[in-house]
Structure formats: structure tokens, C-alpha cells
Amino acid sequence: MDISAAAPPSPRQTPSANQPTSRGAWLGRTIIPFTVAIGFMMEQLDGTIITTALPRMAKDFHTSPVTLNVGITAYLLSVALFIPLSGWIADRWGMRRTYICALAMFTAGSMLCGLATNIVSFGAMRMLQGMGGAMMTPVGRLILLRSFEKSQLVTAMTYMTVPVVIGPMLGPALGGLLTQYLSWHWIFYANVPIGLGGILLTWAKVDEFRPAGVPSFDWGGFCICGTALVTIQCGLQALGQPTSFLVTGCLLILVGSAILTVFVRGRRTHPYPPLDLSLFRIRSFRIGVIFGGINRIGLNSIGFLLPLLLQVGFGFSPTHSGLLTLTSSLGTVIIRPLAGSLLRSSGFGRLLAVNSGLAAILILPLTLLRPQTPSTIIIALVVGLGIARGLQFTTLNTLIFSDIPPARLSRSTSLSGMAQQLSMGFGVSFSAALLQVIAGPGALPSPNVFRLVLICVALITLAAGPAFLLLRAEDGADVSGFRPVAVDPM
């Protein structure tokens, strides 16, 4: 018997999906988004803090900084693998309880990462940490989506993203300071007090929601999909190795793609597949996930490439590099409150297309940087790129869920979250592979190598732009508030 489905609603359960909680409008607008943002902030802090420390970590692990990208991709792959489980677990076990367990697992994983002694154990602990992150981010979004009406979604995202940007802002500078004056181990220990605070706040302030009648999970499809993703990721990692591994990498990518094709064709009829691919019939979701993923491959590569360029290419210290790159988050802070107004005046399609081109253009000046470039110029470029990046991601996150029916929110957060993590992982793997192939086996990449890779990243970012124009005025209109002005034909 399914105890979770048969159990009566607890006093803490919300009465229905997409309704404000009974704790009051003010509490719903502030405390709940802030609580969800705790998890997002930990993940963002973890993602930005590690890039600054890669050169020092590489010395301890006796490997190159580029090869150590496995610590980033192992985490992102783990998140992508287990995200399909997150929506089902949240429905089966309750979203509040699931979120607390995710925070606890992520916090424990952070501690173990700090205790790692080599690249193998570090990669393994990062995958364990990723299991917590796999539930933390999508279930956090689910809490937010079930707590607000669609008309309030942009406001909720704005409230939530204010504390979220603390992670990226603190990450590079904190990572540089801890790495230079203590050790890189402390960049993982920094998550522990944040995680404990998030657990207590979730327990106290977030209401439970658990729908009845959740079907069984498609474990066979989960294994097939996981095998495909691991194979593709291993192929991408192999591309960054010496020339003899290039053929192996290409073969692994082809095999993984073939397995994924089998999964797509064979798991359509299951009542609760690991990935609900029928969501792609919704145009706003389809365009936001697919072409937004291409955007993320390009824009998220910058977070990996820029700290390495400053430290490996220019010889900057971890602290100097961290202080320069943290200003990217300042751009995000500047643009987030304006996202709602820009959406109302332009609509999703035009805003995403124009901003995609602007972001690509802003990447290109990074290729002109030199060790003697004044810090003010670097900061100006990084802030500008942070503005474009923050606007793009905020708008994409809103677009993806704008037309999703309440009953399918759990599945949409799982599928979109997996796609986002994969695109981020592919971006890092692709950038690392290009660096290693162009630089040569075992060689540290020179500034010229970084410049060539940055040009490729800009082209990838630009490529997604035209596809956003396929969005229609009615797509996400209830969320964006965009109403095109009718032209009088006279």
C-alpha cells in the first residue's frame, strides 16, 4: 500500500497548488523565496568559489588546472543524473521533507570534498554532493512555483534572486582569499553553516505539499537515460585528453546519443517516466529549454574560462582573480529588478533574442585583455557581461515555467533542471577540451589559446538568439504582462 499517497494532509500542507501560503502575503513574498534561495546560493557559491581555487588544487592533486575540470563536470553530471528523480521524490515524500534532505546531503558532501586527497576521491565526493544538489534546486523551484500565482511569479523570482546573487558575489573573492591565506579545503567548509541555516529555516517556514496518487517511477528508463548521459559526458572528457583519446571520445558521444535515442523512443508510454518529454509540446518550454540550453553552454563557460585566464594565462593571484571576477555578480544585481519592466515592454521573444546577441558581443572584448590591462577596464567588461548574463537567465527561468499547468510542475522542474545542469557541464567540458586540444597534450594554455576558445564561446551564445523570435506574443503573456500594441491599418 502506498502510505504517502493514502495519508491525510498534515496541518502543514498547503491547500492547493499555486496558492499563497496561509502565513500571509508578506511572508510569502519574502521568507519563502529567501528560504528557497538558500539552496540556490549554496550551489552558486560552490560553483563560483571552486574555479578560483583550481590552480592551487591542481598542485595538491599533481595534475593540471584544465584537467581538474572533472571536479566541476562530475558535480554537474551527478546533478543531471538524479534530477529526474527529484520531482517524483518530492511528490511521493513531500516537497518540504525532500528539500530538507537535499540540503543535508549537499552540506555533508561539501564537508567530504574538503577532506579529499586526490582527484579520484575529489571527483567521487563531488558526485555525492551533486546528488543533494539534484534535489535541492528543482525542489526549491517547486516550492516557489506552488506558493505563488502566475501573476506573482516574476516578483517571486526577483525576491528570490536577491539572496541568490550573494553566492556568486562572495564566491570568487572568498575562494581567492581562503585559497591564498588558508587552503582550498575551506572553500567547501564554507557551505556548512549556510546549509544548517537553510535546514532550520525550511523546517520552520515552508509548508508541506504532497499530492495523492503518485504513480510508480520508471526505474528502467532512469537507468537507460543515466547510462546515456554518463557515456556522453565521458566522451566529452576524453576529447580533452591526448590525441589518442579523440577517437574514443567521439565514439562514446555517438554511443551515448544512440542510447538516448532508444530512451526517447521507448519510454513515451510510461505513466511516470524519468523525463516527461511531452512537455516539449509546449512551445515556451521547448524553446526555453533547448535554445536556452545553448545560451547556457556559452555563457556558463565564461565562469570557468575567465579565472583560469587571469591565473594561468596572466599569472594573477587567486585573490586578485577572485576580486575581478566577482564583479560579474554586480551586473546581475543591477539588472534583476529591471527584468519585469523589460519583459512587459518587449515580451520574451524579442528580449531574449536581442540580449543573446548583446551577450555574445560582450564576450569578444575579453579576447583583448592583457596582463597590463587596467583593472577598471576588466571590471567594466565583467560587469557588462554580468548584466547580460543575469537578464538572460532570469528571463529564461521565467519563460520555461510560464505556461506549465500546475499538475505538471514537478515534472517540468525535473526536466528543465536536468537540461540546465547538462548544458552547464557540457559548456565546461567543451571549453576544457578546446583548451587542451589547442594547447597540446599536457601543456598549459597560453593567453592566445584562451582567446580562440572565447571566440568559439561567443559564437555559441550568438547561435541561439534567432530561435527566440519563434516565440509568439501569447507565449508566457500571463507572466510577462506583455501586450503588443495593435497597429491601425487605416
| 189 and 309 part of one domain | yes
Domain boundary among 256, 273, 290: 273
Is 44 contained in some domain? yes
Is 11 contained in some domain? no
| 456 and 319 part of one domain | yes
Q: How many domains does the chain have?
A: 2
| 42 and 133 part of one domain | yes
Give the closest residue to 369 by CA, choosing from 283, 426, 450, 427: 450
Q: What is the dihedral of CA 233, 234, 235, 241, to 10 degrees?
A: 120
| 173 and 245 part of one domain | no
Residues 79 and 485: their CA atoms lie apart, in Å, by: 43
Is 460 contained in some domain? yes
Identify the pLDDT of residue 1.
31
Residues 472 and 240: their CA atoms lie apart, in Å, by: 40
Taking residues 299-304, what's their average pLDDT?
Answer: 84
Burial call 321-332: b when 16+ CB within 10 Å, e when fewer: bbbbbbbbbbbb
Domain boundary among 232, 247, 273: 273
Is 391 contained in some domain? yes
Q: Which domain, by its residues, includes 367?
A: 20-208+274-479
Residue 354 has pLDDT above 60, yes or no: yes
The pLDDT-based confidence of 11 (bands split at 50, 70, 90) is very low
Residue 116 has pLDDT above 60, yes or no: yes
| 191 and 326 part of one domain | yes
Taking residues 96-102, what's their average pLDDT?
Answer: 87
CA atoms within 13 A on the CB side of 36: 28
Q: Is 13 helix (H, G, I), strand (E, B) or coil?
A: strand
Partner residues linked to 13 by β-bridges = 208
Taking residues 387-410, what's their average pLDDT?
Answer: 84
Taking residues 30-39, what's their average pLDDT?
Answer: 73
| 384 and 322 part of one domain | yes
| 167 and 147 part of one domain | yes
Residues 366 and 435: their CA atoms lie apart, in Å, by: 16
- What are the pLDDT digits (tens) for 168-197? 566 677 777 888 778 888 888 888 888 888
| 124 and 201 part of one domain | yes
Identify the pLDDT of residue 368.
92
Is 440 contained in some domain? yes
Residues 129 and 175: their CA atoms lie apart, in Å, by: 18
The terminus-to-terminus CA distance of the chain in angstroms comes to 67
Is 489 contained in some domain? no
CATH number of 429's domain: 1.20.1250.20
| 258 and 181 part of one domain | no
CB-based contacts of 334: which residues, under 8 Å, 6+ apart? Answer: 383, 386, 387, 390
Residues 332 and 323: their CA atoms lie apart, in Å, by: 16
| 141 and 260 part of one domain | no
| 314 and 417 part of one domain | yes
Say if residue 313 is exposed, middle or buried (CB neighbours under 10 Å; 0-12, 13-18, 19+): buried
Taking residues 140-144, what's their average pLDDT?
Answer: 77
| 284 and 265 part of one domain | no
Partner residues linked to 208 by β-bridges = 13
The pLDDT-based confidence of 159 (bands split at 50, 70, 90) is low
Is 487 contained in some domain? no
Identify the pLDDT of residue 19.
44
Residues 48 and 27: their CA atoms lie apart, in Å, by: 30
CB-based contacts of 360: which residues, under 8 Å, 6+ apart? Answer: 298, 458, 459, 461, 462, 465
